[in-house]
Structure 1
């Protein structure tokens, strides 16, 4: 299953903190029922490619809808077609045993 890594960063807000914007964006993922994992600087989402493109758009637009005038969204998609993968597998293959 493809993986999306996304960070949505509001720019030029009055506060240096944007955790509430991130929380609202991640809530969009949870509402869709997609598996996700938060990291200190991004969110990783697992789903089919169409779901990932759509949720990236929704997360970006969620921050704009809260009145932010500028948003920088970085995405990376890992889409492997020769075999199945998921978040757990990707982590397990690199962790020491």
Structure 2
């Protein structure tokens, strides 16, 4: 299972508000069918292959361009762990929650 955390930031827009860009990007991720979690600062996503992951993020970035910006800054962090099965986003959180006192 590959998990990733990414943020797509439109640059050079007329306004500091980004919610419409975020909405468009998240809708594209939703269309991919991949499991995702929206956070206050980024989106986390699960994929079986790098191709699936990068395809979904590429499409999300493209809709931000189509929404009216000419420059996009995208940050992607990828965890491609192959020594364990089923290392989903929820499983990773549960591991830490189980050891918290």
Which TM class, normalised by the smaller chain length? Answer: over 0.9
Task: Please say if 1:90 is aligned against 2:92.
Answer: yes
Where does residue 71 of structure 1 map in the other structure? 72
Give the CA deviation at 1:78: 0.4
TM-score by length of 1: 0.94
Structure 1 residue 7: Cα displacement:
0.1
CA contact (8 A) 2:3 2:46 kept: yes
Report the number of matched residues.
Answer: 97
Q: Gaps (5+ residues) in structure 1? A: none
Unaligned runs of 5+ in 2: none
Note the 1:2-13 alignment, pairs <5 A.
2-13=2-13
The aligned residue for residue 58 of structure 1 is 59
**CA displacement at 1:13 relative to structure 2:** 0.6
For residue 37 of structure 1, report the CA deviation from its aligned partner: 0.4
Aligned pairs for 1:16-31 within 5 A = 16-31=16-31
